[in-house]
């Protein structure tokens, strides 16, 4: 218990000393630039795959990790892409991928600050790594969306066994959340493992990735519930048409906080291991 309290104390002190709240604000800005292109690119790719209602399924999965207020901003664009597939040319894909990679590049720089990297990578290498991370994380999210298609398929196959089918219908929503947690964890773990410019073998990453993944999903649900139940009318009355973008930026800021806090936890766990402190329990 003492080791756990020490970990929390050291993580909080590191968060304050490194001014990570400002890093989170910067990340939120770049997330805002890359979020909509990322969702649009994901749903557009799903629309081209031989999957029935692929774009709609992508939107349904994204709803697990994005508050409804943020999702409502992108749904009209998703519908437009679904109706006009021909508009997504390769030049458009590359442009969208470049915009999405801005968020990955910001994460690389932010995690270098969290880990107090003395010598960041050259600019061109950071840009190349940002593209690689964007493609890797995007592939994980695409795989997660494709796996969600398995639910209705299995339900169709079980039509003749009514009792098992009913059990599947009951279990499937929970499996979707498990998929969301698993692939969110995998995406964050990839970022923690590859983004900072320090040897990967000398880094503790899994505990912080678990904290960040669970925290991200809980945050998406809590903020969506909070904005809908308590502050939506007040925000609309005060900010008018800006209410939804403000709710989105609030979520992005807190989401960025979750990512840097998870990384800071990893840093302090690594320091404790080097010092030979007992593991937190």
Considering the entire predicted model, what is its pTM? Answer: 0.79
Number of separate domains in the chain: 1
**3-class secondary-structure state, position 103:** helix
Helix count and strand count (H, E) for the chain: 11, 0
What's the CA gap between 7 and 280, in Å, rounded? 7
pLDDT for 101-112, tens place per residue?
888 999 999 999
The larger pLDDT score, comparing residue 74 to residue 1, is at 1
pLDDT at residue 163, as a whole number: 72
What's the CA gap between 126 and 111, in Å, rounded? 12
Residue 89: pLDDT above 60?
Answer: no
pLDDT at residue 78, as a whole number: 64
pLDDT for 115-157, tens place per residue?
988 888 888 898 899 989 888 887 887 777 667 666 666 666 6
- For the ranges 185-189, 235-239, 270-274, the maximum mean pLDDT occurs at 185-189
> Is 236 within 8 Å of 155 (Cβ atoms)?
no
* Structural domain includes residue 111: yes
* Structural domain includes residue 238: yes
Give the lowest-confidence range in 34-48, 69-83, 173-187, 204-218.
Answer: 69-83
Six-digit token string for 261: 């806090």
Residue 214: pLDDT above 70?
Answer: yes
> Is 109 within 8 Å of 142 (Cβ atoms)?
no
* Structural domain includes residue 280: no
pLDDT at residue 261, as a whole number: 94
pLDDT at residue 81, as a whole number: 61
Residue 58: pLDDT above 70?
Answer: no
**Containing domain of residue 162, as a range?**
2-275
* Structural domain includes residue 198: yes
Six-digit token string for 254: 């807190």
* Structural domain includes residue 281: no
Nearest one of 266, 115, 104, 103 to 198, comparing CA atoms: 115
* Structural domain includes residue 78: yes
**Distance of CA 132 to CAs 104, 110, 129, 218, Å?**
9, 17, 5, 28
Average pLDDT, the chain: 77
């Amino acid at each position: 218990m003492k080791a756990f309290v020490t970990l929390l104390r050291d993580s909080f002190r590191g968060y304050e000393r490194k001014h990570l709240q400002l890093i989170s604000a910067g990340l939120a800005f770049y997330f805002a630039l890359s979020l909509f292109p990322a969702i649009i690119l994901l749903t557009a790719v799903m629309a081209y795959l031989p999957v029935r209602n692929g774009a709609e399924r992508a939107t349904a999965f994204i709803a697990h990790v994005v508050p409804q207020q943020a999702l409502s901003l992108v749904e009209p664009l998703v519908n437009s892409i679904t109706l006009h597939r021909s508009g997504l040319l390769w030049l458009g894909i590359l442009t969208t991928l470049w915009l999405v990679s801005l968020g990955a590049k910001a994460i690389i720089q932010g995690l270098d600050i969290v880990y107090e990297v003395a010598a960041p990578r050259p600019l061109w290498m950071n840009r190349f790594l940002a593209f690689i991370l964007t493609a890797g994380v995007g592939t994980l999210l695409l795989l997660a969306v494709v796996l969600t298609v398995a639910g209705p398929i299995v339900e169709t196959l079980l039509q003749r066994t009514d009792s098992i089918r009913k059990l599947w219908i009951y279990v499937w929503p929970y499996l979707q959340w498990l998929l969301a947690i698993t692939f969110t964890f995998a995406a964050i773990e990839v970022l923690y493992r590859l983004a900072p410019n320090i040897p990967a073998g000398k880094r503790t990453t899994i505990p912080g990735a678990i904290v960040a993944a669970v925290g991200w999903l809980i945050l998406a649900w809590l903020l969506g519930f909070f904005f809908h139940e308590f502050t939506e009318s007040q925000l609309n009355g005060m900010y008018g048409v800006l209410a939804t973008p403000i709710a989105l930026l609030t979520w992005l800021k807190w989401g960025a906080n979750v990512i840097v806090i998870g990384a800071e936890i990893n840093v302090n766990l690594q320091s404790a291991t080097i010092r030979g402190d007992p593991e937190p329990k």
